[in-house]
A = this chain, B = another copy of it.
């Protein structure tokens, strides 16, 4: 049997340097755990634009459709701000999500014990926090038509459309209920059903799907109240399911609560392929951080933990995923910190590659 295949898209900014550390981890699994991957690498985002004039070449898109999983670093940077909307680095990422139909974006917001003090929130509010946000990723206002900037009368009008079909809501709700079943069996769905009809439909469909998961305790919250409650007492939540745009804000907010932003991975999953594995893309929650790119300061942990999610969700290697997560925790408990994890105390940070090496050693 051939090895499972991985497509690596380092992207822009700190993407390449954090991805280099992931490769060390991948190599370790091949050498020590008999878990070898066929790894290929390609361009996305600004890097692809620089090479091909498009943030995602068709050949790269085709490769992404064929592999067992895609690992992405980060896209974007000020250099590309002047580009037309249609070729901005983000469009490469959005094309991957849309064409691979990766409808369920899993964003764990977990507070690492060793880092609880690092949060802007009080320690007791975030210590031990472990919630999972499931964000719809292929529809809603990100992709709805009509869209664009049109002329009307003697002025311009900017238009975007939020559109959700019942089946789009149904499938992401099922992903969220499935996750809730494997966790604390609590699901909170967030929308603005008091203001938006798409939110009314969202609430109806989620309520309908709940009938197939009688063990899961379902609640509904308006997204603005959700933002508040996440800030006030995030531990009240287990799994949260929400749409693409609300999910963008709320999952970033939840990530920031933990104080562990450079630590948080994500998985974007679609329907099962013929081999039973879901279409999948894994990426850190953090951005491309152009201000520190190329300086060996970036924290590779989020990207390494994204590979752990790949082990769990694509390759059915939950135990190996846990091994990797524990290696990360051990290194943190030992006091290793990249620059982003240091307060004012003046401790010396380790570099990106020192952090990667330490994690491999801890494996």
Write the residues of chain A forming the contact surface with B, with a CB cutoff of 8 angstroms: 76, 85, 88, 90, 94, 120-122, 125, 141-142, 144, 147-149, 152, 155-167, 192, 194-202, 223-225, 227-228, 231-233, 245-246, 248-250, 252-253, 255-257, 261, 287
One complex includes copies of this chain to the number of: 2
Residue of B nearest to A150 (CB): B197
- Residues in chain B near residue A161, CB distance under 8 A: 159-162
Residues on B with C-beta less than 8 A from A246 are: 249
Establish whether residues A159 and B197, one from each chain, have CB atoms under 8 Å apart when the complex forms. yes
Are B155's CB and A166's CB within 8 A? yes
Please tell me if the beta carbons of A194 and B90 are within 8 angstroms of each other in the complex: yes
| Main SS class of interface, A | helix
The residues of B that contact A85 with a CB separation of less than 8 Å are: 197, 200
- Determine whether the beta carbon of B88 is less than 8 Å from that of A194: yes
- Contact A252-B228, Cβ < 8 Å, known A158-B197, A165-B152, A195-B90: yes
A66 vs chain B, min Cβ distance (A): 27
A167 closest partner in B (C-beta): B155
Tell me how far the C-beta of A49 lies from the nearest C-beta in chain B, rounded to whole angstroms: 14
* A-B contact list, 7 entries, CB within 8 Å: A141-B141, A155-B165, A155-B167, A158-B162, A160-B197, A161-B161, A225-B252
B147/A197 in contact, CB under 8 A: yes
Which residues of the partner chain B approach A252 to less than 8 Å between Cβ atoms?
Answer: 224-225, 227-228
Contact across chains for B200 and A149 when beta carbons are under 8 A apart: yes
Chain B contacts of A163 at CB under 8 A?
157-159
Given the known A-B contacts A156-B165, A163-B159, are A228 and B261 also in contact in the complex, defined by CB atoms under 8 Å?
A: yes
- Residues of B near A256 (CB, < 8 A) are 227-228, 231-232
Measured between beta carbons, the chain B residues less than 8 angstroms from A149 are 197, 200-201
The closest CB in chain B to the CB of A223 belongs to B249
Contact between B194 and A159, CB atoms less than 8 A apart? no
**CB distance A162 to B159 under 8 Å?**
yes
User: Contact check: which of B121, B197, B198, B227 meets A121 at CB < 8 Å?
Assistant: B121
Given contacts A155-B165, A166-B155, contact A249 B224 (CB under 8 A): yes
A231 & B231 in contact (Cβ 8 Å cutoff) = yes
**Complex: chain B residue closest to A201, CB-CB:** B158
